[in-house]
Structure 1
């Protein structure tokens, strides 16, 4: 049984707009999985469906099932889902800019935990992010973009998650920083056995990091498989990995039709 499973899920915004349409996917315990696709494909909506953050955006699951560790999570509040082991790092580095990194970590720690547990977990997190330890007393709003992204991930780890969902962690970062952050994510997955569900438009970096991937287009899963296989797919190479030569945009419609058949 997978740790996370979505079965034929549909999400509607404002009771009108169908954002994702029959999405099914699975994340095994300890696995690393990517959701690829262009803007508007439904990637972020899929993560919010799992974390319970659709409500504030007037979205609702109208069909399908979402289970985590064998339990139906749809009736749970977002806070209960965090308690069950799901954590969502939103796009845009949503940190407390007026607090220091150290205070950000403290704010994310569960209230029922002890001071000793807090200090132990902070030490563990700072081991993954030594740059944050160096800047732990600085105001978070003055950190660089890469450091703020590290802080957002570090803060998520303070909940001791079993599944961490990352929405565009490479957005706006230089290639070397992207590589560093993805290496840290891989290390966390390997050492802590935390499952990872990664949303990325940087398909090349994502497919170098994860073991499995799903490609979303217009709210549908149109392709899935292990990362090595997807990297060799000519459509993935042409439209998501840069390809070779110029894109023939007259064939884009045909390409989309082909992907639906492949799904």
Structure 2
């Protein structure tokens, strides 16, 4: 008797529709500062391996706190994850110190272009490489950084404190790449930079993502620039995620257009004033 092949169909369909593996997952994370101030309230975020994801929101919304809950930098600021869990490559990392998270492959580029100003770019890169890897790794990674940021190679012997804001931001990202990360977290990389520099840096980050397979979590107030380079975005307000969608869908959302992409033309002041009462994504 002939047998049919229907039994193999579910497996094939499951393979076709399988979700991409997650490199990072925040599950209902809550952070409190000084045992009193609730900074983020049940935040859940997923970053697929090899993806670029944006966390958008106004100043003070909880974006930087979310990144620090991942990198482990809350404790120096008297912050604490009091609920939920942070998973990296399927491992709960809540109990790990910041340096242990770096060794796992998590790197956090802090807001404000923090580099060693008294050292040259070349010395900054070498210093960052001490976190992990061999001398051969250091030389290879430095060549990679200079290939993505040729301007840094041109200024490699200058004192870093005399670099422009854009060059310092490139150096901060370059230092992060020297740790051989699997997840690159960028906190407000566009802050204080001219639009053409923002576009240049974001384009380089997108190239690194595609060519190196590096996962990126990008925190930004500049939603216009961020949504041009990421695949998905999360919108956080008052410590809560209030929207999650593809970048294309978020760009088309009328409320996102109005309040985060500058599309206020034709809207009355009365509508804008009562925005908090009428957010469609919270209903």
Q: When the two structures are superposed, what TM-score results if normalisation uses the length of structure 2?
A: 0.90
Q: Which residue of 1 aligns with 2:129?
A: 109
Asked if 1:173 corresponds to 2:193, the answer is yes
Unaligned runs of 5+ residues in structure 2 are 1-20
Paired with 1:83 and 1:189, the residues of 2 have a C-alpha distance of: 20
Asked if 1:239 corresponds to 2:259, the answer is yes
Q: Which residue of 2 aligns with 1:201?
A: 221
Q: Residues 8-157 of structure 1 correspond to what in structure 2 (within 5 A)?
A: 8-110=28-130, 113-157=133-177
> How big is the shift at 1:111?
5.3
Q: Secondary structure at the match of 1:49?
A: helix
Paired with 1:168 and 1:42, the residues of 2 have a C-alpha distance of: 13
> How big is the shift at 1:112?
5.5
Paired with 2:217 and 2:137, the residues of 1 have a C-alpha distance of: 26
Unaligned runs of 5+ residues in structure 1 are none
Pair member with larger Rg: 2
Asked if 1:164 corresponds to 2:184, the answer is yes
Runs of 4+ in 1 over 6 A off after TM superposition: none
> How big is the shift at 1:119?
1.2
Q: Secondary structure at the match of 2:133?
A: coil
Number of equivalenced pairs: 260
1:179-211 C-alpha deviation (Å, 9 max, x unpaired): 000000000000000000000000000000100
1:56-115 C-alpha deviation (Å, 9 max, x unpaired): 110000000100001011110000000000000000011000000000000000355332
Paired with 1:234 and 1:255, the residues of 2 have a C-alpha distance of: 12
Deviates more, 1:85-94 or 1:111-120: 111-120
CA contact (8 A) 2:132 2:179 kept: no
CA contact (8 A) 1:235 1:255 kept: no
1:14-65 C-alpha deviation (Å, 9 max, x unpaired): 0000000000010000000000000111000000000000001100000001
Paired with 1:260 and 1:112, the residues of 2 have a C-alpha distance of: 44
Of 228, 246, 259, which aligns to 2:281?
Answer: 259
Across the aligned residues of Structure 1 and Structure 2, the Cα RMSD in angstroms comes to 1.1
Q: Which residue of 1 aligns with 2:207?
A: 187
